């Protein structure tokens, strides 16, 4: 075998080793997370048709306002959760990376102990046709809860912080807009009331002068 042939064989061998190493690395990156989500939910999280973000509060808490709808099929223990805000984030900035992070084993601490009692403050609802996967998030406890699978996992600090940041940006921006609308309505009401009082005062003064 000539030196050139040896070089080609060596290059081919290195390429094959690199491909095998990549496949092993990918398997290690996804094995545990596939066991947690299940293949169908993992694929749905990676490639959803629609993603909806929720801001949540426990229904029994005093801060929960009346008239809000209890989320269907979202019960954790004895608690039910209310939606205080929701938004379609399918194409929102940051959520492609967030979805990708949820499909990597490196984002989780599967051997980590659950160190606190979670209060689920955010939710992500992934859907495609008749498939659904619902994920509740407590960033302070660094926990995610897979509703359909009834499973809890610890996520790494950087993942918890990243999820909280993008969810807060999306959901609280909507809350601020709603608050601004409410303020605008209130200001308009005050202006209308003041104008009405002024017209009434002018009318009264006019009648007095005529007399």
Q: 101 lies in a domain?
A: yes
Of the candidate ranges 7-16, 84-93, 97-106, 137-146, the one whose mean pLDDT is the lowest: 7-16
Q: 9 lies in a domain?
A: no
The model's pLDDT over 181-193, given as tens digits with 9 standing for 90+, comes to 333 333 443 444 4
> What is the share, in percent, of the chain residues with pLDDT greater than 90?
47
Total of domains in the chain: 1
The token pair at 183 is 């303020």
Tell me the C-alpha distance between 209 and 202, whole Å.
11
149 and 37 Cβ atoms separated by less than 8 Å? yes
Q: 128 lies in a domain?
A: yes
Q: 183 lies in a domain?
A: no
Angle between the N-to-C axes of helices 3-37 and 39-46, in degrees from 0 to 180, rounded to the nearest 10: 100
For 90, list phi and psi in degrees, rounded to 5.
-55, -40
Q: Strands 143-146 and 131-138: what pairing?
A: antiparallel
pTM score > 0.75 for this model? no
Q: What is the pLDDT of residue 184?
A: 38
Under the banding of pLDDT at 50, 70 and 90, the label for residue 66 is low
CATH for 96: 3.30.1490
Residue 108 in this model has a pLDDT that exceeds 60? yes
**Closest of 158, 134, 161 to residue 146, by C-alpha:** 134
Q: What is the pLDDT of residue 127?
A: 96
Q: 138 lies in a domain?
A: yes
Cα 35 to the center of its chain, rounded Å: 22
144 and 160 Cβ atoms separated by less than 8 Å? no
Full domain range(s) for residue 63: 29-168
């Amino acid at each position: 075998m000539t030196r050139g042939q040896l070089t080609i064989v060596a290059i081919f061998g290195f390429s094959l080793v690199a491909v095998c190493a990549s496949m092993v690395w990918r398997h290690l990156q996804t094995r545990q997370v596939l066991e947690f989500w299940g293949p169908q939910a993992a694929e749905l999280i990676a490639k959803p048709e629609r993603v909806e973000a929720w801001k949540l509060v426990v229904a029994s808490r005093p801060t929960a306002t009346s008239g809000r709808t209890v989320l269907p099929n979202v019960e954790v223990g004895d608690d039910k959760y209310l939606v205080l805000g929701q938004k379609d984030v399918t194409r929102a900035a940051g959520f492609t990376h967030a979805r990708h992070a949820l499909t990597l084993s490196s984002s989780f601490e599967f051997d980590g102990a659950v160190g606190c009692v979670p209060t689920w403050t955010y939710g992500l609802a992934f859907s495609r046709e008749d498939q659904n996967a619902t994920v509740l998030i407590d960033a302070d406890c660094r926990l995610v809860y897979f509703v359909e699978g009834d499973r809890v996992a610890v996520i790494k600090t950087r993942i918890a912080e990243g999820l909280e940041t993008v969810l807060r940006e999306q959901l609280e921006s909507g809350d601020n807009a709603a608050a601004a609308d409410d303020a605008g309505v209130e200001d308009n009401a005050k202006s209308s009331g003041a104008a009405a009082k002024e017209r009434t005062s002018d009318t009264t003064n006019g009648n007095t002068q005529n007399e």
